[in-house]
Amino acid sequence: MVRKNKISRRNFCHIMFGTSASMMFRDILWGDVRKPKEIPSEFIFTQLQYRGGDWNPNPTSALELISFLKRRTSIESPDKMFGITLLDPDLFHFPFLYVTGKSSFLPFNEKERENMKRYIDQGGTVLIDDGSGLTDTSFDGSIKEELTKILPGESLRPLPWDHTVFRSFYLIRILGGRRIVSNVLTGITRDDLTPVIYSRNDLSSAWAKSPSGEWIYDCVPGGEWQRDEAFKLGVNVIMYALTANYKQDQIHSSFIQQYLRGR
């Protein structure tokens, strides 16, 4: 059973920056689910468990990303990935949901689509990762069909390089992954927030290690820099899920522009 010590954007900011600063940032209202009274101290990596296909093609990938996250940031997280279905009421306690696979999967039912829409509407961030490393895949077809039904009239569009997700922790100027299928990250954006982010570059295979501690897959064509960039993007999306657009505040925007001009 997943512990109820989950982290929302406001509580994360409270821990990191103090109460007054946390009030600057966007809060998540989880519908009928009330946030715990205690301030949570851990980020929970949640991954969507769906029917058909392969919802967890690289079982070690989340653990490696969590390890990287804890080494490079002050975020605490258990060394475990939690699989969760769209019918699990605990879904609405988590601000981040990872969805990956290499092939098509069974269609969601109406209740699952309703819950996914509610999750997105109420502040959740979904990172989708096509794990096939190919340009034309059945996973891509399945997930895009579901997004069309869950969010009719909304479409995936390339995210500009000044998007907050590229600067929420690391300043990212190039995309990584096991295989560079696309040089752009796409997403569904509403006003100034992007609750759905989609990578085609097989992030999970770039993160995955064997039980003996060796990388399972080579990253092509760029090698280890692609792997490093894949980890950085994973951290950035998690930070974006927790803090939203705080790096678009004027003080951060000025610093970032100065840094980029000096590169």
Residue 41: pLDDT band with limits 50, 70, 90? low
Collapsed DSSP state (helix, strand, coil) of residue 194: strand
For the segment 90-99, the average pLDDT, to the nearest whole number, is 96
Q: Which of 103-107, 159-163, 187-191, 259-263 has the lowest average pLDDT? A: 259-263
Which residue would you say has higher pLDDT here, 261 or 218? 218
> Which residue type is seen at 205?
S
Q: Where are the domains of the chain?
A: 9-261
Residue 1: pLDDT band with limits 50, 70, 90? very low
The correct answer on CATH 1.10.10.10 for the domain covering 9-261 is no
The pLDDT score that the predictor gives to residue 95 is 95
Residue 8: pLDDT band with limits 50, 70, 90? very low
Mean pLDDT of the chain: 83
Look at residue 90 and tell me whether its pLDDT is greater than 70: yes
> Which residue type is seen at 195?
P
Q: Which of 60, 67, 114 is nearest to 86 (CA)?
A: 114
Yes or no: say if 174 and 229 are a contact pair by the CB < 8 Å rule. yes
- Residue-wise pLDDT for 138-170, tens only, equals 999 999 999 999 999 999 999 999 999 999 999
The pLDDT score that the predictor gives to residue 211 is 93
Residue 120: pLDDT band with limits 50, 70, 90? very high
- Surface-to-core class of residue 129, CB atoms within 10 Å of its CB (0-12 exposed, 13-18 middle, 19+ buried): buried
Q: Which of 20-29, 103-112, 142-151, 247-256 has the lowest average pLDDT? A: 20-29
- Residue-wise pLDDT for 49-61, tens only, equals 999 999 999 999 9
How distant, in Å, are the alpha carbons of 127, 135, 222, 247 from that of 243?
15, 32, 31, 9
Give the burial string for 131-161 (b: 16+ CB within 10 Å, else e): bbbeeebebbebbeebbeebbeeeebeebee
Residue with tokens 């980890």: 231
Look at residue 23 and tell me whether its pLDDT is greater than 50: no
The pLDDT score that the predictor gives to residue 245 is 62
